Amino acid sequence: MKITDKHILYTLDTNKNNGLKLLFDRYYKPLCVFAIKYVYDLNLSEDIVQEVFIKIWEKKEFHTQMNLSAYLFTSVKNACISYLRKEHPLYVDSFDDEVILGDYCTEEEILERNRKLMDTVENLPEKAREVFKAVVFHNLKYKEVAEELNISVNTVKSNLARAYRLLREVMDILVSYLL
């Protein structure tokens, strides 16, 4: 059964824990990928998305007629720009803030983007993929990954940097395509 945004909103209203889990499962990774376009840092993008989820948790009620994906992507975009304005004011002055999310946020496009991201991760070079998955998806520390894969911590760092670089190249293309 395909879970719709309307179902997620209804569940958020009736059972916030289950609704937030549905929301997280569906939108967390695409929102993090989207945030990277602005802040160029996976950890920071995750922090920003988590802050948006906290605000959703604190929200009292949800209207099942609202465009959930537009709301989420706009919230993440605004949070990224707020962060950049605070931390890097000169950068933001030259920042093109003309991103329009209207048609971008359809469920099909989000699912397609997520699929392309996962395909790209799967097509990374073997060691870079293993390191990326261990650090990003399993939240392991560099030392833990090094021990698990029987490589040095520096090799973990270089493979992770390689994976980020390759993903950033592809994600920029994906973002341009979807926007």
3-class DSSP state for residue 1?
Answer: coil
Work out the average pLDDT over 61-90.
80
For the chain, give the mean pLDDT: 78
- pLDDT reported for residue 99: 42
**Could you tell me which residue, 28 or 179, shows the higher pLDDT?**
28
| Distance in angstroms (rounded) separating the CA atoms of residues 136 and 69 | 23
**Could you tell me which residue, 122 or 88, shows the higher pLDDT?**
122
| Distance in angstroms (rounded) separating the CA atoms of residues 30 and 5 | 15
CB 148, CB 20: distance < 8 Å:
no
Does the structure show a pLDDT above 70 at 64?
Answer: no
| Distance in angstroms (rounded) separating the CA atoms of residues 32 and 136 | 11
- pLDDT reported for residue 4: 84
**Could you tell me which residue, 98 or 12, shows the higher pLDDT?**
12
Work out the average pLDDT over 147-172.
85
- pLDDT reported for residue 42: 83
Q: 95-146: per-residue pLDDT in tens?
A: 444 443 433 445 566 667 677 778 888 888 999 999 988 887 777 889 999 9
Does the structure show a pLDDT above 60 at 3?
Answer: yes
Does the structure show a pLDDT above 70 at 1?
Answer: no
- What is the percent of the chain with per-residue pLDDT over 70, rounded to a whole number? 77
Side-chain-side CA neighbours of 122 within 13 Å: the count stands at 6
